[in-house]
Amino acid sequence: MTEQKATNITWHAGHVTREERQALTKNKPCCLWLTGLSACGKSTIAVALEQVLIKRGHVAYVLDGDNIRHGLNKNLGFSPEDRTENIRRIGEVAKLFVDAGAIVITSFISPYKDDRNKARAVLQPGEFIEVFVDASVEVCAKRDPKGLYEKALRGEIKNFTGVSPDAPYEAPDKPEIHLASDNMSVEQCVETLLNYLAEKGHLLS
């Protein structure tokens, strides 16, 4: 766990209630945490879901793994320690988006169960929705638009999740949603997510 380094600081509670924010955003806010191997379809599904939610009048935002590493986490690599810190920071950012009343959709490999559980812990019960975007290494390697799997198999990329011996992927045991993305279309995945959000009361209109 990252130690608190700053001293003489105080948490300042806001003066806007969750109910007031929900009336504005038309959401019961939550975090859809998409996890899975590289090229399993996380980002594609996240972006498609965001588009549908926005068109329906909801406040939604995608936090994408590559985008975050261009800015907030540009100082982190792919060692186990850096992966853990990457997810810790994202969990805190997701919490801020949820506090603001949004449906935040994160798209990160987030390979370690413990890291995902810690991200869940910073949110209120029911706000963290783990979504396992499940596709085999073989399927992901065939889809891979960046050619990363081929490079990893040649040994040109180290610490590549699902390929490198020192970079395992720990699949969720009991995700709220399991998307078999090697057999489901993007549209089917999005519909599954929308149905879940509706059933759990996250879409208020």
Provide the residue-wise pLDDT of the chain in tens; the chain has 205 residues.
456 666 777 767 778 888 888 888 888 999 999 999 999 999 999 999 999 999 999 999 999 877 888 888 899 888 889 989 989 999 999 999 999 999 999 999 999 999 999 999 999 999 999 999 999 999 999 998 888 999 988 889 888 998 888 889 999 999 999 999 999 999 999 999 999 999 999 998 7
102 in Cβ contact with 61 (< 8 Å):
yes
Question: Would you state the pLDDT for residue 25?
Answer: 83
Question: Would you state the pLDDT for residue 3?
Answer: 63
Question: Would you state the pLDDT for residue 4?
Answer: 61
Question: Would you state the pLDDT for residue 51?
Answer: 98
Reduced to 3 states (helix: H, G, I; strand: E, B; else coil), residue 12 is coil
CATH superfamily entry for domain 18-199: P-loop containing nucleotide triphosphate hydrolases (3.40.50.300)
Q: Cα–Cα distance between 20 and 191 in angstroms, integer?
A: 28
Reduced to 3 states (helix: H, G, I; strand: E, B; else coil), residue 176 is coil
Reported pTM: 0.89
- Provide the b/e sequence for 131-148 (b: ≥16 CB within 10 Å): bbbbbebebbbebbeeeb
Q: Cα–Cα distance between 147 and 200 in angstroms, integer?
A: 38
Question: Would you state the pLDDT for residue 2?
Answer: 58
E strands, 43-196, are 60-64, 103-107, 128-133, 177-179
Catalytic pick among 110, 164, 181, 185: 110
Domain boundaries of the chain, sorted by first residue:
18-199
CA 139 centroid distance within chain: 21
Query: Is residue 110 among the annotated active site residues?
Result: yes
Q: Cα–Cα distance between 62 and 67 in angstroms, integer?
A: 10
Q: Cα–Cα distance between 26 and 30 in angstroms, integer?
A: 12
Question: Would you state the pLDDT for residue 194?
Answer: 98
61 in Cβ contact with 97 (< 8 Å):
yes
What token pair was written down for 97? 């988006």
133 in Cβ contact with 119 (< 8 Å):
no
